[in-house]
Amino acid sequence: MTRMKRGRGMAASWYGIARTATIDRAGAWAELDDGGTGKVVTGVTEIGEGILTVLAQVAADEMGIKPQDVTIGDNDTARSPEAAHAGATRQTYMIGNSVALASREARNVLFEQIADHWEVAAEDLRAFDGEIWAVDTNLRMSMEDAVATCKARGVVPVGSASFTAHGTGLDPVDGSGSPWQAYVFGTQVAEVEVDTWTGEVQVLGIWAAHDVGRAINPRGVEGQIEGGVVQGLGQALMEEYITDKGHAITHGFAKYILPTSLDIPQINSIIVEDPDPKSPLRAKGIGEPALVPTAPAIMNAIYDAIGVRIKTLPATPEKILKTLQDHIPGRNQIAQENRHLRAEAARSGVMRS
């Protein structure tokens, strides 16, 4: 019997974006400030997912300035518009869209004043990378000068907006309804190697293709996918969270096994952009969806490798060995022979030393 077995498995998923079966909403304020810089205020919470970078990119793109010239203001909910929580993969979709709309309004206020100043149509104005110009003319100025001109005319270029996502509950009779406004889809393929002597599983590679709508920050999307895959790998093979009658009885993190850098395989992220038709940014989200297919793909790969299903998580070495012994005829005899061979090898090693 070959000791090392390889297999591949695939899993696909869908995920709803924003809060479920209700109206989700988020608001923002934006201003084009002195020096041609931008300010954004919203109740966003940065918990390491990179939302502040995304919002700076969104505001800069809408205002026509550089991302480094955007300041994201105080997110104290006593002084900022409501943005709700950091969860449900909603930050880019909900807050990103509200910031886009507020920044667009601030830019339009500026455009109206500069168009009047230049005596051109506002729709002929463009702004990018800190400059504003009128198409098919030689009229051009820096955003700093444009803001100064606007304020000299007695107008502050500010904007405010809210973005709303609509969802409904499910009909109790026929199950119809639309719990989310936007959906994302993903597929992952895992390749594993299973040691049939020890029950250990090594994940050799993960290929993860995910629909994110429009990718605002592709490197950030790749990072989110990689982070989700690592979490899914831990769920599939290592993290055993035990409960009894609803109470956690896992002792603590001292013996709670988590993936380390040595456990992480090659992760191949594939970004699929299917723009959302119901939002200004056309973006959706990727935070939680990246985690969903990983464990099923790994479990399918284990099945492909050894021919038996592991039906509970995590797939620990002990669980895999027991499953093999229970399902493969003669497995107990093979296990005894393997133990005998390992003992013989250990004795030979001692004798040589």
* Residues marked as catalytic: 288
The span from the CA of 71 to the CA of 74, in Å, is 10
Residue 74's contacts (CB-CB under 8 Å, 6 or more residues apart) are 41, 80
CA distance 26 to 339: 62
- DSSP per-residue codes, 143-188: HHHHHHHHHHTT---EEEEEEEE------TTT----S-SEEEEEEE
Which tokens is 100 given? 């886009």
Distance of CA 65 to CAs 130, 146, 250, Å?
Answer: 4, 12, 51
Closest C-alpha to 203, from 294, 262, 291, 264: 264
From residue 30, how far is each of 41, 42, 80, 147 by CA, in Å?
6, 9, 11, 14
Tokens of 125: 């104005």
Q: Residue 216 has which token pair? A: 């605002």
- The set of residues, in sequence order, having a beta carbon less than 8 Å from that of 119 and lying 6+ positions away, is none
**Could you say which DSSP state residue 138 is in?**
S
> In this structure, are residues 17 and 292 in contact, taking their beta carbons and an 8 Å threshold?
no
Separation of alpha carbons 269 and 245, rounded Å? 39
**3-class DSSP state of 275:** coil
